[in-house]
Structure formats: C-alpha cells, structure tokens
Amino acid sequence: MTGEDADDLIDAAADETIRECLDLAAPRSFFLYAGAGSGKTRSLVQAVRDLCERQGRQLALTGQKIAIITYTNAARDEIVQRLEFDPRVDVSTIHAFAWSLIRGYDGDIRKWLDANLVAEIAELEQKQAKGRAGKAAIERAQSIESKTRRREGLREITRFIYSPTGDNRTRDSLNHAEVIAMTAVFLNTKPGLRRLLFARYPILLIDESQDTARRLMDALLDVQAAFPAQFCLGLFGDTMQRIYADGKVGLAEAIPEAWARPRKAMNHRCPKRVIALINKIRADDDKQDQQPRSDSPEGTVRLFLAPETVANKRGVEAAAATRMAELTGDEDWLPGRNGVKTLALEHLMSARRFGFEHFFGPLYAYEPMRTGLLDGTGRGLGFFTRELLPLAIALAAGDRFAIAAAIRQTSPLLDRQRLAEAGEKQQEELARAKAACDGLKSLLLAENPPTLRAVLRYVAATELFVIPDVLQPFVPEGPTDAAAAEPEEDASTEAGAWRRALDAPFPDIEKYDRYVRGVSQFDTHQGVKGREFPRVMVVISDDEARGFLFSYGKLMGTKDKTKTDLENEAAGNDTSIDRTRRLFYVTCSRAEESLAIVYYSDNPVLASTALLERGWFADDEIEVIAA
C-alpha cells in the first residue's frame, strides 16, 4: 500500500461509524468533528449513498426522505450533483428547510407575527417617547406607521409566502429571520410539527452545524432527545470554525453522551507547515490536532510585523507579497498579479481596503444585522444588489436586452397584470419604463456619483421598483441638518444603521456585492469557509478592528485579559480571544501552498518575542517591515 493510499484510510473508522449510525431500523445520532480540509463533504455524500443502497427501497415505499441542510446555495448544488439528483434525498439551505416545515401553518404564523409586531411597535414607541425631535424621530414614526399597517393587514392574508433566495417584500411574505424564529418556536410548542419532522425525515444531516442558528439548533436537539429511536440527527462541523454570532456556543458540550462522536484527523488541503501552525492556534482551545498527507508539500509560512501607526499599509502589504515571491519562487505572489487571496480578520478592514466602508460600516455596527449583511440576505440589501445593481450595470453597458431583463423581473412598471389592464395604452406604460431607466442612467453616470438615498428616492418617485418596508422611512424628504439625528441610535437600531449607510455613494454597492459573493481579491470568512487558495495573505490589526469583539494582541500574548474576558471565561461565554482564534484558524487554514500573515502591532518587538515563546513561528519566519 502506498503512502497516499494509507492517507485515504486514516479516517476510515470515522466513515464506518457514520455508516453504522445511518440505519433506519436502529438510528444513532452523531457529531462528526471535521477540521479544515478534512473531506467532510465527501464523507457526508458517501454515507448517504451507502444508506440509499442499503435501505433506499424502504425510503421509497414509505415516502420518507433523508434531509441534508447546507449553509450556502453553492454547497447545496454541489451535494445534489454528487448525489446525482437522488429523489430520496432533500438538500436545502437552513432557511429553505425551515420554511418547508412551517409552510401552511398560516393561522399560527399570523398569531406569531401579530405578537412580534406588537413588541416591535412598543419598543419603537418607547424610544419615540424618550427621543428628541429630528430626523431620527421622523424615521421612527414612519417605521411605527409601516409596522402598524402590516399588523392591520395580517387578517386579510389567507396564505403567507416566502422565498429563501428572494427578498420577500410583498404584503403576504415573510423575511429570513422571521422564518427561522418561527420554526424554532413551533418545533418547541407543536407536538404535531415534531412528529411531522421525523415522519418525513427520519434522518437529518446538518453541514456546518456550528453555525446553525442557536434557537433552531436547540429545538432540533430537543426533538432528537424526545424521539431518539425515530429521529437521527447527524451534525457535521468543527466548533473552531464557528464564525457567525448566532451560532450555538458550546455545541460540542451540548451533545448527549449517547451520541457517537467520530473524528476525522487528516487534513488533505494544507501543506505541512500550515497544518503545524493551525494545530498550534487551536492547541489552547480543544487540542484537536490534524495530520498532513504523506504527499503534502512542506509549504511556506511567514509573519510580517509592522507598527500599528504605519501610514502606508497598502505599501506594507505589497512589500510582504514581494518578499513572499522571493521566498517561494512563485511570481504569482507579486503585487498586481491578482494571484493572492487577502483575508482580513475583521470585515471592516476588508471594507476599508476594497472601498465600501461607508456603506458597510454602519450596517455592520448593528449587530442583529451582521449575519444577513455578511451573506447578502439582510433586509433591504437585495433591493440594491439584486434589483438596482444589475440594472445599473446594464445601463452603463448600453445593453438593451439586459436592461429589459432587469426591469421585467420585478419592476411594477412592466408587471404583466398592469400591462394587461393598460389595454391600448400599453405603449405609454413602456415609454414610462424607458423614461425611468433613462433618468436613472443620467443619475448614475453623473460626474459625482449619487448617494444611495438619492437613488432610492428616484426609484420611489418613478415606481421603477418596489421599495422594501425597511427602506420606506427614507423615501420622504426630511430634515438634512446632521444635528437633528441622534447618533447614539445609529449602532443600536436598524433605522439608524440604514440612515448612515444610505449616505454612501452608489458604487459602494458593486464592491460590497463582489465581496459577499467572494469574487474580489478580498473575501469574507464566510465566503472562504470550505474553499482553498494557493496563496493566502492574512491581515490583522487591533486598531483597524475598532472594537471589543476581537483582540489579536490578547491572542498573540501582547495584551492582558480584561475583567470582562475573565468573567466570560468563568461563565462559559465567548471572549474576544475565542472569537479571534476562530477567525485566525479559518483564514490560515485556507492556504494550499504558502501563507503570509501581516500583523500591525502596537509593539512589534513584544509581539515577536511572545510568538516565539509560544512556538507558533520560528525565528527565521518572523520579519519586520518598517514602512
């Protein structure tokens, strides 16, 4: 047997455990630890294939299916294709799966929405009573009015709708957060829905389980605990790769003793040196070491230290890339080659480097919106990225077919029923749509790019697209005096966040869209999870992070833990060190060949000493770049 063949058998025991657990006659739930590059998806697909070969006929006869929840549409499509579109397996994202369970519970949905809207309106009214007059007060009043209208219209809706890939903006539609919240509540309170779940899906497999919304994960764990002989829950993931704030903290500790805990030890992606580094990174957490393949290259890792106060950070990063080209002999490291994937440990750093901070920053500061902002599904985002942006690109290119396609899809001006009702005046409606597009083109191509607010108001005035409820408060003209706003609310309310974000120039939207889709030189932690790149540059800076959520100084050993850190540790809660370690692990583990880490430290000498003492880097792997 060759070394490569032996590598493939290292994790055979874990795969066999999963195979034994997936038995319709005697199911056993499990949590598979699968670190970076471990071949988690391959194990999942092979286990499902094997189950379908053994017990597929039983599934077909009973009408039951195996359910697989993935984190992204791309991951869903990959698994569906690997399973050759097997009709006995339902593969979906978490939002689509949740909706498949509660769809049709229209009376219960109405009651839940009514109670939720009452609570939201009460909170806004309380702030309105305490707040002062000004722009914020006007926008709060408009939000109260919008939510009140929605509540009053609930009784007229006979059937609610939802699209996991759409923006769900019609009166009868639900948003992403509502669907997840309702599913968790209904699973906890409706015995019939619980029985429906395991009657339809006796086996449910969840990929990236560490990032599944905690309330929904808790509800699924409760169902499994109540019906262990009828419902098999299989969790695939790695708690070190939890990167969403709403993922379940302490998932591994919440797994019952009766569950199987298979573990995959092999890293098939990274070179030996990178694997040694990421093992060190997680050593202080769970000590889950991985081993490299026998045919894995040695690889190159370098830490470049620079003062936090250096003015030209782009210059520092270019110098680091040039040095990596010298060390590796790989010219694709050279600046301008676009061969390097740059990953910042804090999204604002990427937004600043890629040029969309003005739009991104205020929305990212509003914590409840972060998850939706980072995967592009947050309320109001699709209006800009999936409606306005395609039309703007088509208008700039003068592509008539693309222009027509962009407005025909969702514009009320070309709504089929509206055109039918126009009768002989259809030509006037088409001319109106053309005039609206021509005006938008003039606005977008002006010498000074318009703000998002200006574009929003133009679209509302021309009825080019339907304005989502969350953006309705910003359509009317209001006070423009900055002092009339209440800046303390900007980071604590959705309206405050959008108010500031809409001041951004429209070109920010294209840069943001490319970022969240993972097609820019920079990327999100969410976008790169499960992916790999030959050359990776990780950029870290406490000063640029500007917050208490992360601390590279504490992780690297140059800063002491705070009282809050110690209290969180004692309570078993996340600390800034925990969050930073996870993001550092995820980004470093993307590298297939070579890895550069650029660390802006307020004390480079102390950072170098601390990291040498920890054994994360050798002396010749640390270089200082002065400017």
Is residue 166 within 8 A of residue 174, CB to CB? The reply is: no
User: Which residues, other chains included, contact 416 with Cβ-Cβ below 8 Å and sequence gap of 6+?
Assistant: none
- Is 89 in a helix, a strand, or coil? strand
Is residue 188 within 8 A of residue 222, CB to CB? The reply is: yes
Question: Would you say 38 is a known binding-site residue?
Answer: yes
Residues 198 and 67: their CA atoms lie apart, in Å, by 10
Q: Comparing C-alpha atoms, which of 396, 402, 462 is closest to residue 433?
A: 462
**Tokens matching residue 178:** 């509502």
Is residue 591 within 8 A of residue 561, CB to CB? The reply is: no
In angstroms, how far is the first alpha carbon of the chain from the final one? 52
Say how far residue 267 (Cα) sits from the centre of its chain. 24
Helices 357-365 and 507-516 meet at what angle, rounded to 10?
A: 60
Alpha helix positions (H), 271-312 = 272-283
Question: Would you say 40 is a known binding-site residue?
Answer: yes
Question: Would you say 553 is a known binding-site residue?
Answer: no
Residues 415 and 230: their CA atoms lie apart, in Å, by 48
519, with CB counted inside 10 A (0-12, 13-18, 19+), is exposed
Question: Would you say 107 is a known binding-site residue?
Answer: no
Is residue 168 within 8 A of residue 180, CB to CB? The reply is: no
Question: Would you say 35 is a known binding-site residue?
Answer: yes
Is residue 580 within 8 A of residue 555, CB to CB? The reply is: yes
Other beta carbons less than 10 A from residue 28's beta carbon: 18
Long-range contacts of 378-384 (CB under 8 A, 24+ apart): 379/175, 379/177, 379/468, 379/469, 379/470, 379/494, 380/468, 380/470, 380/471, 380/498, 382/166, 382/167, 382/468, 383/167, 383/169, 383/465, 383/467, 383/468, 383/471, 384/452, 384/509
Helices and strands per DSSP (H, E), number in the chain: 30, 14
130, with CB counted inside 10 A (0-12, 13-18, 19+), is exposed
The percent helix, strand, coil of the chain (3-state, each to 5) is 55, 10, 30
Question: Would you say 122 is a known binding-site residue?
Answer: no
Is residue 95 within 8 A of residue 173, CB to CB? The reply is: no
Q: Which residues does the annotation place in the binding site for ATP?
A: 34-41
Q: Which residues does the annotation place in the binding site?
A: 34-41
